[in-house]
Structure 1
Amino acid sequence: MAISVSKLNKFVFFKLPSAYICGVRVKAIDDKTCIVSVKHRWINQNPFNSMYFAVQAMAAELTTGALVISQIQQSGKKISMLVANNKGNFTKKATGRITFVCNDGHLIADAIKKTIETGEGQTFWMKSIGTDEKGVQVSEMDFEWSIRVK
């Protein structure tokens, strides 16, 4: 069963309720790219009237994690996944609708192949860029994913 936008948003509702309440929504996904957006609102703001960094991190992580979930599902193997590390850089106040894009889907297949062949865990870094409605970058997040065959 292929991953779709509606299935991912249903997953967010049931498994990541705090992200759902804050307005995190998947907008598009394919083999290489995932797009997630979230709008600055009262429920997800910080005391400085911009989006709280953790809400940005939830949306950014979802762009990378959805791609990993999708490719693990396509492999047909039981593979565990975990964020081993993350880094964030915030360059502008996040107000309005913020869109996060990850274009690193190409990094996952090789790691899945290696973990299946060797049985050893594999790690790889994926980047998600957050931009506002004007196309100005507000944050950049990097997530190190760790995968291994169960």
Structure 2
Amino acid sequence: MNSSKDQFLQLVRHRVKFPLFLLTKLPAAYFSGVRVTQIEEDKAVVTVPYKWFSQNPFKSTYFACLAMAAELSTGVLAMMHTYKSNPTISMLVIGLEAAYFKKATGITTFTCGQGLDINQTIEDALASGEGRTIKIKSTGKNEDGELVAEFFITWSFKAKKSLA
């Protein structure tokens, strides 16, 4: 792995820096309790608890909080693979599909194992000079390992033109 990815992994794993990033850039995720619990080059794991700030009137985790956790499990991988890239890469969510299977009444853990696919899409965008998209899966399970929700998030990546 290259040094910029190592640097990014250190930032995400830092006890203060990444929570501060969430607080300042994604405050809804921070206050809902969304947290990155594991990140590697190919995989990210993100949790969201059922608590007062993330609840809905049906005594389960609000669907939008589940979506934030699912999106972060894919987005943190995309951020890692674009961190300090030259040229810089723009990234944008352009699609979201979700299926819910069970009430989320405790900690829901979202896992995305497509980090290498994301990296390849970014490399293709850089090589071609054209935008590229990828549909990424994030699976949410409860503490008993039961499927709670499945998300498919479509990301777009494009190299920004330099002004030089």
Bin for the TM-score computed over the shorter chain: over 0.9
Which one of the candidate residues 8, 12, 15 is aligned to 1:2? 8
Q: Is 1:20 the equivalent of 2:30?
A: yes
Q: Distance in 2 between matches of 1:26 and 1:76?
A: 26
Q: Distance in 2 between matches of 1:121 and 1:38?
A: 32
Distance 1:74 1:107, change over 3 A: farther
Which one of the candidate residues 105, 108, 114 is aligned to 1:98? 108
- The normalised TM-score by structure 1 is 0.95
Q: Distance in 1 between matches of 2:117 and 2:139?
A: 16
Q: Distance in 1 between matches of 2:120 and 2:76?
A: 17
Secondary structure of 1:2's aligned partner: helix
Alignment RMSD (CA, Å): 1.3
Q: Distance in 2 between matches of 1:85 and 1:34?
A: 20
Q: Is 1:65 the equivalent of 2:100?
A: no
Aligned to 1:51: 61
Gaps of 5+ in 1: none
Aligned to 2:148: 138
Q: Distance in 2 between matches of 1:54 and 1:64?
A: 15
- The normalised TM-score by structure 2 is 0.87
Paired AA for residue 37 in structure 1? T
Which one of the candidate residues 121, 125, 136 is aligned to 1:111? 121
Q: Name the structure where strand makes up a greater proportion of residues.
A: 1
Q: Distance in 2 between matches of 1:36 and 1:23?
A: 10
Which moved further from structure 2: 67-76 or 50-59?
Answer: 67-76
Q: Distance in 2 between matches of 1:76 and 1:8?
A: 23
Gaps of 5+ in 2: 1-6
How far is the alpha carbon of 1:75 from its aligned partner?
4.2
Whichever of the two has the greater Rg, that structure is: 2
How far is the alpha carbon of 1:15 from its aligned partner?
0.2
Secondary structure of 1:109's aligned partner: helix
Identity %, equivalent residues: 42
Q: Distance in 2 between matches of 1:66 and 1:74?
A: 14
CA offsets per residue over residues 118-149 of structure 1, 9 Å max, x none?
Answer: 21100001111111111101000010000000
